[in-house]
Structure 1
Amino acid sequence: MSDLELPIRGRTYREPEGPHSVVVRGRDIEAALQHVASREDCRSLAVISLPTTAPDLTVLAGRRLLLVDGDSGRLRDFAELALRADVEVEWIRSARPPFDRLAAALLPIGAIVLAAGSSSRMSGPQKLLLEVEGMPMVRHAVESASDGGCQQVVVVYSAREVKEAVGDSAELVHNPDAQTGMASSLKVGLRALRPEIEAAAVLLGDQPLVGSRTIAALLRAWRREGSRPAVAVSKKRDSDEGTPGRRAVHWTPPVVLAREMWDDLNALEGDAGARQILDGHPELLDTVPAPGRPDDIDTPEDYAKILTLFPRRKSRKRA
């Protein structure tokens, strides 16, 4: 459909299978609109370098349209026409299509922060309320998801104290069945994501060292053309060191899960979450190295170890 070379997941040159997005140059917009009219599963259209004359955009009603052009007036004219046609429209003023913004608009990703655990191995208060650098650790996960580029952030909680700690920094969803295991929280989170969300980035509330750069790296990897349905952080196993023939990495959350996997995820039970699927089907998973540390905190010793990474600053003496 277009000679535009952009490495975005699911971009269309041939007739695609399943839900997809279309990216075209302005000169090919008529062909793109014909494609959209014939395919209900074409969710969004991106047009790079707009034509001088805007076509009828009513076929895009209820779908997403992204406009990229260096001419402000042309962008405004197209956007006004799209809005009148009940199209969800976004525009970027740029002569060249920026990959990250274009991919984010076509493939929005929501975050699910799993924060409904019982902290059974921690003595004392709910572990997600423990402070790391002056902030409850669950808030670190929320900030990483938001700053890393997730367009929606949902926190699944069980304890009232966790809800209060999160406050208005994210959408909150209660899981009344949290005691049955992580799978129930994952399903609650998936149901809370908006219809336009194409994938879920699943974070654990007890991984305060996973930063926004890690989330951004995962989102970027998942949105690349040719990526698998799931993308997670790679982690080296101590037991694999120096063992010939053994795979030297395995995966750990956070993990990005494509919408096409959600039916299988919603059928899960117990405490293993997405691992129940991905460990049995490694062909579904890509792993990427990440700049952050995916350590999770389960015991007082884990928390003490994390705190050693953030030594308290000595107070200055007043002159």
Structure 2
Amino acid sequence: MNGAPVVAGLLLAAGGGRRLGGRAKALLRNGGVLFVERAADALLAAGCAPVHVVLGAAEAEVRARARLDGCALVSHRDWESGMGSSLRAGLASLPPEVDAALVALVDQPGIGDEAMARVRGAFVSRETLAAAAYEGRRGHPVLLGAAHFAGVAREARGDQGARGYLRGREVALVECGDVATPADIDEPGDLADLP
């Protein structure tokens, strides 16, 4: 590998928030900032480039309202089929020179640039598999070396992203529990827990 590795940020932000009454998660706010903006900014601040944002539910509104400068926006029309198809669309959108992708989810506002930078820093080669850990339990973000893109895409189905592919493979865990909280915002009650 010549020069610095190219580690892309891949933000999965297509979900329609079915359990949130159909509110697109990308458009939820925390501290006055849209979830999609917060997560994209964290990937950029962690040193990821390029950053691709997969959009689906309320895409037109997200494009109109969100400040996503420096990001490539990926239209994903089949977003209702689940996170697996969003991950496939995102991986397919990345340019061939990308050595790895740091995959983040839009509905985890407690994960910021410090945790993302730690996991990005686990890159060793295009064979790397790494993930944030919270008290030893694997979570997001997940770093996928480019050698795994095709395999992940083959196995990503329904609401499962890379989980099936990672099962039984060696994944380097990067403890992030001291700098991030991995809670998903899935139901209306979860919004009350936001700082």
TM-score over 0.5 for the alignment?
yes
Structure-2 separation of matches of 1:156 and 1:124: 18
Match among 248, 251, 273 for residue 138 of structure 2: 251
What pairs up with 1:286-297 in 2 under 5 angstroms? 286-290=172-176, 291-297=179-185
Equivalent residue, structure 2, for 1:142: 40
Instruction: Within 5 Å, give how 1:11-22 maps onto structure 2.
Output: 21=1
Match of 2:131 among 232, 236, 239: 232
User: 1:222 Cα shift?
Assistant: 2.2
Whole-angstrom CA distance in 1 between matches of 2:172 and 2:114: 18
Between the aligned partners of 1:229 and 1:252, the Cα distance in structure 2 is 16
Output aligned runs, 1:275-314, within 5 Å.
275-278=163-166, 280-281=167-168, 283-290=169-176, 291-306=179-194, 309=195
Match status 1:179 vs 2:80? yes
Whether contact under 8 Å (2:25, 2:106) holds in the other structure is: no
CA distance in 1, matches of 2:65, 2:150: 31
Per mean C-alpha deviation after superposition, the further-off stretch among 111-120 and 163-172 is: 163-172
- Which runs of no fewer than 5 residues in structure 1 stay unpaired? 1-20, 22-43, 45-65, 67-104, 237-248, 310-319
Q: Which amino acid aligns with 1:263?
A: A
Which residue of 117, 125, 128 maps to 1:216?
117
The aligned residue for residue 162 of structure 1 is 62
Kept in 2, the 8 Å contact 1:139–1:165? The answer is: no
Which residue identity is paired with 2:99?
E
Please identify the structure whose Cα radius of gyration is greater.
1
How many residue pairs end up in the alignment? 189
Q: Which residue of 2 aligns with 1:195?
A: 96
> Pairwise CA RMSD of aligned residues?
1.8
Contact 1:115 1:162 in 2 (8 A): no
Identity over aligned residues, as a percent?
Answer: 33
Q: 1:128 deviation in Å?
A: 2.3
Unaligned runs of 5+ in 2: none
Shift of 1:168: 3.9
Label 1:166 to 1:153 Cα distance change in 2 as closer, same or farther (>3 A).
farther
Give the direction of change, closer, same or farther, for the CA distance of 1:284–1:229 in structure 2 (3 Å limit). Answer: farther
State how far apart, in whole Å, the 2-side matches of 1:121 and 1:229 are: 34
2:86 partner SS: helix
User: Residues 157 and 221 (structure 1 numbering): CA distance in 2 closer, same or farther, change over 3 Å?
Assistant: same
Matched-pair contact (CA < 8 Å) for 1:114–1:186: yes
| 1:165–1:210 CA distance, 2 compared to 1 (3 A) | farther
Matches within 5 A, 1:36-185: 44=2, 66=3, 105=4, 107-123=5-21, 125-158=23-56, 159-160=58-59, 161-169=61-69, 170-185=71-86
Q: Is the Cα–Cα contact under 8 Å of residues 138 and 208 in structure 1 kept in the other structure?
A: no
Moved over 6 A (4+): none
